[in-house]
Amino acid sequence: MRKGITQAKRIVVKVGTSTLTYANGQLNLQRIERLVREISDLHNRELEVILVTSGAIRVGANRMGMKKVPNTLPEKQALAAIGQGALMQLYEKLFSEYSKTVAQVLLSRGDMDERIRYLNATNALLAMLRMNVIPVINENDTVGVEEIRFGDNDTLSAMVAGLVDADLLIILSDVDGLYSSDPREDEQASLISQVEEITCEMEANSTNRGSSFASGGMFTKLKAARMCMASGTAMVIANSQELNVIRRVVAGEEIGSYFAPREKKMHARDRWIAFGRLLQGKLFIDAGASNALLKKGKSLLPSGVTRLEGEFERGAVVAVIDNDNQEIARGISNYNSSEILKIRGMRSSQIKEILGEKDYDEIIHRNNLWVEY
Ligand code: GLU
């Protein structure tokens, strides 16, 4: 029994393309109907529910009689526009059978980068919840350019969970959850019921797992889990084919994989900085600095930085990468990239001599650093 989950009041449910459609691209009506019924039932219990849905591109392709989703971006964008309407029409019809009102929300990654737009999105979603409406969210695929796209709805759903400070994110997929290895190749693979920490090994094992229509696979689900765990939101990956899957997950039943949240919820503004803002660069650090950050709760000093990627200004959000090429933290840089190029590897006492002035001892101050995010 997963006790923490049973207290959840605000729940985000994400469904993938492989859940909503058959392998031939046609809608899996039975599954969509079950999903709508379960969500409506949660809503009847006065839980707040947000649905993050994929499937627009695939449904659009199907409408146009295409067997496969084309590879070019403009075509995908066009299909998203065609499919999104069709998908919404279906949700509208099915939810209205249970007297539920839905609201379509299309988000872009770029909407999250600016504080005011991020807050606007939060406020609009909260207003919908107050109106007793079920927001149905997808990425705004039609106008998204590559650099500012979520690219997959797993990441989008974790971002949405952060926006509204949800208690639980349920990712419904065509797999049972996270396995110790790929179950299609390894008979010994076992389902991991509870995850306290996402390891490099889990991530390395997850790169090419996913069905042909989904953008994500396990890799993006782990990325979503990282965001949720750090923010203090519980997350469960479960198989959409399980009967009454949503109700059972919410009841705390041990199905699928549960990603335990940190005890302390991340402050809303920190969540925006760590996950909402677009990354501007990467700082690579040595083992001593990783240790100081992770174990001793210290700031990042110039001496621990070995190299950097990207051109950025002071105040940019950068990723901190350790010796194993693993992102271990994110933070706001006190110095711009050309200054860091000059002071990396140096002692803080040398900063003035090198740059002609010293505003800060540290490259990222502890207060602006989110470790093991
Ligand atoms: N936004 C995409 C769509 O609706 C799906 C992305 C995903 O599969 O994660 O088709």
CA of 55 relative to ligand 1 center, distance in Å: 5
Separation of CA 148 and ligand 1 centre (Å) = 15
226-248 pLDDT, tens digit each: 999 999 999 999 999 999 999 99
The tens digit of pLDDT for each residue in 34-55 reads 999 999 999 999 999 999 999 9
Residue pLDDT, tens place only, 180-192: 887 777 888 899 9
- Compute the distance from residue 138 Cα to the ligand 1 centre, in Å: 7
Nearest CA to ligand 1 atom 5: 54
DSSP state of 145: -
Cα separation, 348 vs 362, whole angstroms? 7
Whether 19 lines ligand 1, by a CB cut-off of 6 Å, is no
User: Of all atoms in ligand 1, which is nearest to the CA of residue 151?
Assistant: 6
Q: Is the pLDDT of residue 214 over 50?
A: no
Residue nearest to atom 2 of ligand 1 (CA): 54
Three-class SS state of 31: helix
Distance of CA 141 from the midpoint of ligand 1 (Å): 8
CB 79, CB 54: distance < 8 Å: no
pLDDT (0 to 100) of residue 180: 86
Q: How many independent structural domains does the chain possess?
A: 2
- What's the CA-to-centroid distance between 39 and ligand 1, angstroms? 20
> How does 53-73 read in b/e, with b if 16+ C-beta sit within 10 Å?
bbbbbbbbbbeeeeeebeeee
Query: Which whole number is the average pLDDT over 5-14?
Result: 96
Same domain (yes/no): 238, 155:
yes
Please, what is the end-to-end C-alpha distance for the chain in angstroms? 26
Q: Are residues 282 and 365 in the same domain?
A: yes
Do residues 263 and 306 share a domain? no
Which ligand 1 atom is nearest residue 84's CA? Answer: 4
Pair 285, 324: CB distance under 8 Å:
no
Q: Which atom of ligand 1 is nearest to the CA of 54?
A: 4
144 and 286 belong to one structural domain? no
Which residue reads 């007793």 in tokens? 132
Whether 41 contacts 249, CB under 8 Å: no
Q: What is the pLDDT of residue 373?
A: 59
Strands 134-139 and 102-107: parallel
Indicate the residue among 235, 270, 305 that finishes a domain. 270
DSSP-derived pairing of the beta strands 257-259 and 234-239? antiparallel
The pLDDT, as a whole number, for residue 59 is: 95
**Nearest 5°: phi and psi at 118?**
-60, -45
Regarding whether 122 and 7 lie in a shared domain, the answer is: yes
* Whether residue 201 is found in the same domain as residue 102: yes
Do 253 and 285 fall within a single domain? Answer: no
**Spatial distance between the Cα atoms of 339 and 355, rounded to a whole number of angstroms:** 7
Position 207 scores a pLDDT of 67
CA 191 / ligand 1 centre spacing (Å): 25
- Helix intervals (H) in 131-217: 153-163, 200-205
Bridge-based pairing state of the strands 194-195 and 48-53: unpaired
Q: What is the pLDDT of residues 54-67, one digit of tens each?
A: 999 999 999 999 98
pLDDT, tens only, 131-149: 999 999 999 988 877 767 8
Looking at the structure, tell me whether residues 206 and 338 fall in a common domain.
Answer: no
Determine whether the shortest distance from the Cβ of 210 to ligand 1 is under 6 A.
Answer: no
216: Cβ below 6 Å to ligand 1?
Answer: yes
Residue 312 is predicted with a pLDDT of: 96
Domain end (from 270, 287, 302): 270
Return the H-helix or E-strand segment holding 19: helix 17-20
The number of the ligand 1 atom at minimal distance from the alpha carbon of 138 is 1
Whether residue 309 sits in one domain with residue 243: no
**Cα gap 91→98, rounded to integer Å:** 11
pLDDT at 213: 43
**Are 51 and 82 contained in the same domain?**
yes
Tokens found for residue 217 = 């696979």
Residue finishing a domain among 270, 291, 320 = 270
CA–centroid distance, residue 153 to ligand 1 (Å): 6
Q: Residue 263's closest CA among 293, 297, 231?
A: 231
Nearest to 337 by CA among 319, 316, 322: 316
Ligand 1 midpoint to CA 57 (Å) = 7
Q: Is 139 in the pocket of ligand 1 (CB under 6 A)?
A: yes
CA of 64 to the centre of ligand 1 (A): 17
Distance 284 CA to ligand 1 centre (A): 32
Mean pLDDT of 153-158: 95
Percent of the chain with pLDDT over 90: 73
Mutate to test the pocket of ligand 1, among 53, 107, 139 (most ligand atoms within 8 A of CB): 139
Is the pTM higher than 0.85? The answer reads: yes
Predicted pLDDT at 212: 40
CA geometry: angle 111, 197, 287, nearest 5 deg = 90
Of 134, 133, 130, 108, nearest to 121 by C-alpha is 108
> Residue 351: its pLDDT value, please?
95
**Are 308 and 266 members of one domain?**
no
Average per-residue pLDDT for the chain: 92
Look at ligand 1, atom 6, and give the residue with the nearest C-alpha: 152
For residues 205-211, give the mean pLDDT: 59
What is the structure's pLDDT at 211?
Answer: 44
CATH number (domain holding residue 243): 3.40.1160.10
The string of pLDDT tens digits covering residues 271-317 is 898 899 999 999 999 999 999 999 998 999 999 999 999 999 999 99
Residue 152 CB less than 6 A away from ligand 1: yes
| Whether the predicted pLDDT of 168 surpasses 60 | yes
State residue 216's pLDDT score. Answer: 57
Cβ of 220 below 6 Å from ligand 1 = no
Whether residues 302 and 244 share a domain: the answer is no
Nearest 10 degrees: Cα torsion 18, 20, 26, 31: 120
Q: Which residue has the higher pLDDT, 308 or 324?
A: 308
Range of the domain at 282: 278-371
d(CA 318, CA 108): 20
